[in-house]
Amino acid sequence: MPSKPKIRNAKVAMAIGAHPDDIEFQMAGTLLLLKKAGFEIHYMNVGNGSCGTREYDYKTICKMRGGEARESAKIMGAHYHPPLVNDLEIFYEIKTLRRLTSVIRDVKPSVLLTHSPVDYMEDHTNTCRLAVTAAFAKEMPNFRCEPERGIDSYDVTIYHALPHSQTDPLRRRIVAGAYVNITPVFDTKMAALRMHKSQQNWLDTSQKLNSYLQTMKDIALSVGKLSRRFKYAEAWRRHLHLGFCGPDIDPLKMLGKNYLINSDYERKLKKVF
């Protein structure tokens, strides 16, 4: 008797960041709320954190940051996926794309959280491009991934976080399409970020973020203020549906009262389409 086909869990959410701590800064609150809503959640950084130090050698910092990321994922209750390349070597190129596509085909996320298409750092921008293309290639049999994985047809909705500075690289303000109230899970988001202890001195010296924990709190408060409703918030823009899902599919609506669509943003979109 032939075996029954495995039923795919349609409630799977995945966050793909560039470096260890990017997810915690911009995406972890939403990921945690999706878990509360019954989603299986996944955590992946494309870069291994190799350049996030002035104190440690390559092997030491990679081991250190990998361990921190694993502990952070454990706190969030997320499935951890190991990185693919070194920091500053996140390029939009075929080898990395094939490997990331393999992960996407394994996980089969219906919600994909990633960076803004434009950000202050090319690692972030390239991670976004890789994640979007990998999701697009999920059901293309003639695109080979490494290692090989089977294709599947399903809806995936992609959401882009705000850039770190809430502006593009030319200092123009980026407006959110929607806000997520992360106040109920803020303490867990903070605990997850706290695992990245190696980043305290590095962020102090490289980016003048006096305390990386306080910086994350300030960002969440700032975005919350923009929402005009929530104390702590994360903000998102939904990717164009073409090639990914139906035009009106918006899974973050499952978050109920913790999800707020920016009506001004949507109104401007309607003028375009």
Q: How far apart are CA 213 and CA 233, in angstroms?
A: 15
Q: What phi-psi label fits residue 259: left (phi over 0), alpha (psi between -120 and 50 degrees) or beta?
A: beta
Contact 249, 157 (CB under 8 A): yes
> Domain for residue 2, yes or no?
no
Per run of 10 residues, the mean pLDDT along the chain (length 273 residues) is 53 97 97 98 98 92 97 98 98 98 98 97 98 97 97 97 93 96 98 90 55 90 97 98 96 98 88 63
Tokens representing residue 159 in the block: 């959401």
Instruction: Indicate which CATH number applies to the domain containing 256.
Output: 3.40.50.10320
pLDDT of residue 127: 98
pLDDT of residue 3: 41
Output the DSSP codes for 72-116.
Answer: HHHHHT-EEE---B-TT---S-HHHHHHHHHHHHHH--SEEEE--
Cβ neighbours of residue 124 closer than 8 Å, sequence gap 6 or more: 18, 22, 115, 116, 163, 164
Enclosing domain of residue 83: 12-272
Contact 166, 237 (CB under 8 A): no
What's the total number of domains in the chain? 1
pLDDT of residue 128: 98
**Which three-class secondary structure state does DSSP give residue 169?**
coil
> Domain for residue 19, yes or no?
yes
**Which three-class secondary structure state does DSSP give residue 180?**
strand
- For residue 10, CA distances in Å to 7, 109, 153 come to 9, 8, 11
Q: Is the peptide bond before 147 cis (omega within 30 degrees of 0)?
A: yes
pLDDT of residue 69: 98
> Domain for residue 106, yes or no?
yes
> Domain for residue 22, yes or no?
yes
Q: What is the 3-state secondary structure (H, E, C) of 5-39?
A: CCCCCCCEEEEEECCCCHHHHHCHHHHHHHHHCCC
Tokens representing residue 131 in the block: 């994640």
> Domain for residue 4, yes or no?
no
> Domain for residue 215, yes or no?
yes
Tokens representing residue 125 in the block: 């921008």
Residue type, 155: D
> Domain for residue 160, yes or no?
yes
DSSP 197: T
pLDDT of residue 8: 64
Q: How far apart are CA 185 and CA 188, in angstroms?
A: 5
Structure pTM?
Answer: 0.93
> Domain for residue 243, yes or no?
yes
Q: Which residue has the tokens 């001195």?
A: 201
Contact 197, 212 (CB under 8 A): no
